[in-house]
Amino acid sequence: MEREGFFERVYDMVEQIPEGMVATYGQIARLVGEPRKARYVGFALHSNPRPGEVPCHRVVFADGSICEGFAFGGPEAQRRLLEDEGVAFKDETHVDMRLCRWPAGTA
């Protein structure tokens, strides 16, 4: 896996997540053709060279939890960005995936 190409594919895919929806790290990995690279999706987003353009706040864990190590202001910032877009939460740290999961690539 060539890092630069993979990272760019991740950024391109994350840019397609509609406002008000979220995707999981594993979902993005599958969509870019690397289904076993969910952790690498996280690495790519942590080093996002275009914050504000690549909406990395829209990517969450499979259980809907937001990222403790959200690189652009911590979990409070990620939650605030998602809430501002209308994303529903089940509790303090979990997005309601039933309502807000982007359906791309899900069966």
* Residues known to be catalytic: 56
Q: How far is the first Cα of the chain from the last one, in angstroms, to the nearest whole number? A: 26
Burial class (CB in 10 A: 0-12, 13-18, 19+), 104: middle
